[in-house]
Amino acid sequence: MSQKIPVILDIDTGSDDAVALITALKAPELEVKWIATTWGNVPLAEATENSLRVLDLARSAGLLAAEIELYAGAERPLARDLHEGRRRRDRYSGLIDGEEVYMHPPILPGRPYTQQAEAQFAPFKYIDYLSSATEPQTIIATGPLTNLAIALSLEPNIVSKIKELIVMGGGYQKANVTPYAEANFWNDPEAVACVLHSGLKPLLVPLDATHEAYLRESEYREIFANSGELGEFCCALLEQRQKLHDLNQPLAEPQAVTLHDVLAVCAAFAPQLLSDCLEVHCQICLSAQANGHLVIDRRENPAEANARFAYHADRAAFVATLTRLFQA
Ligand code: RIB
């Protein structure tokens, strides 16, 4: 097998982040070097605890050859909350059959974790780790970009040690948290602006792609059928997500579910899952009304590209990739 891709995950562990972390640990093509956690789907402390719970579950399933260090990061956006009209909304949930169902449960099911987060602040870890890295690294960010934006602001030269930045975020014809914005970008648009201006030219895996790459219930149950406790854990999270999709975020089919962050992780070793990945010049809106809305320069002679935007994804290939990973 060719050399493993060294990756750093920056996650706000919620439900699809948890499945994405497990997928990254399962993928033989990837080597997860360390993990950063950030506020986003849930407060930082919950994202950190949830990530440690997932690591513990993965350890029990034999997925961890060695300990993977986890560094807690930002607790809040760079600047958004300083603006009254742009503050966070309530946790996304719905009342289904009399039960409050959360897209991202406050605390994921699972045993009390044994590992503890490292003491260093994740942005400082980025600076130290990348500054001394002997080979450029791949970063996969599936939450707000606050950690990376802080690190880039303090030490812009780390850009030279980042081989690829894959970001789950944004939307061209799709939105979720408001009529105009996707959640990760809405959560910290100033951080998005910082990354877009860094010269990194991130690969954006937006809602346009992740909504095409949905999984049917029959598909995800088959994918995780032979993964024991890990598979049951993933299915329980996807069941919750599926209920909320059916309730008020309909996909192309009922009884289906998005795995936004999982597609971003798979893009690191299977970029062919994404299609129409075009170099674009994009900006992020910071106003109260359009906070977090990503705008793309559509002129015939656009400004210099600062990102690659995946307009589409191959659903069948995504299902086949996950089947290969979890049925192997
Ligand atoms: O909009 C989808 C993104 O928001 C995903 O990363 C999901 O985990 C949530 O953070």
Question: How far, in Å, from the CA of 211 to the mean position of ligand 1?
Answer: 12
Quick one: which atom of ligand 1 is closest to the CA of 15? 8
CA–CA distance, 93 with 75 (Å, rounded to integer): 21
Cβ(133)–Cβ(151) below 8 Å? no
Per residue of the chain (328 residues), give pLDDT as tens: 579 999 999 999 999 999 999 999 999 999 999 999 999 999 999 999 999 999 999 999 999 988 999 999 999 999 988 877 777 666 677 888 888 888 878 777 776 788 899 999 999 999 999 999 999 999 999 999 999 999 999 999 999 999 999 999 999 999 999 999 999 999 999 999 999 999 999 999 999 999 999 999 999 999 999 999 999 999 999 999 999 999 989 999 999 999 999 999 999 999 999 999 999 999 999 988 899 999 999 999 999 999 999 999 999 999 999 999 999 7
Question: How far, in Å, from the CA of 176 to the mean position of ligand 1?
Answer: 9
b/e burial code for range 77-104 (CB count within 10 A of at least 16 → b) = bbebeeeeebeeeeebbbeeeeeebbbb
Quick one: which atom of ligand 1 is closest to the CA of 182? 1
Closest CA to 144 of 230, 17, 234: 17
Quick one: which atom of ligand 1 is closest to the CA of 260? 5
Cβ(15)–Cβ(261) below 8 Å? no
Our mutation pick for probing the ligand 1 site, out of 10, 13, 15, 16, counting the most ligand atoms within 8 A of Cβ, is 16
Our mutation pick for probing the ligand 1 site, out of 41, 93, 180, 263, counting the most ligand atoms within 8 A of Cβ, is 41
Quick one: which atom of ligand 1 is closest to the CA of 264? 6
Our mutation pick for probing the ligand 1 site, out of 10, 12, 245, 293, counting the most ligand atoms within 8 A of Cβ, is 12
Residue-wise DSSP of 109-178: SSPPP----BSS-HHHHHHHHHHH-SS-EEEEE-S-SHHHHHHHHH-GGGGGGEEEEEEE---SS--SSS
Question: How far, in Å, from the CA of 104 to the mean position of ligand 1?
Answer: 9
Residue 113 has a CB neighbour count (10 Å cut-off) of 19
Cβ(325)–Cβ(230) below 8 Å? no
**What does the longest C-alpha to C-alpha distance in the chain come to?**
55
As a whole number of Å, the CA-based R_g of the chain is 18
Contacts of residue 209, defined as CB under 8 A and 6 or more positions apart, other chains included, come to 263, 274, 310, 311, 312, 313
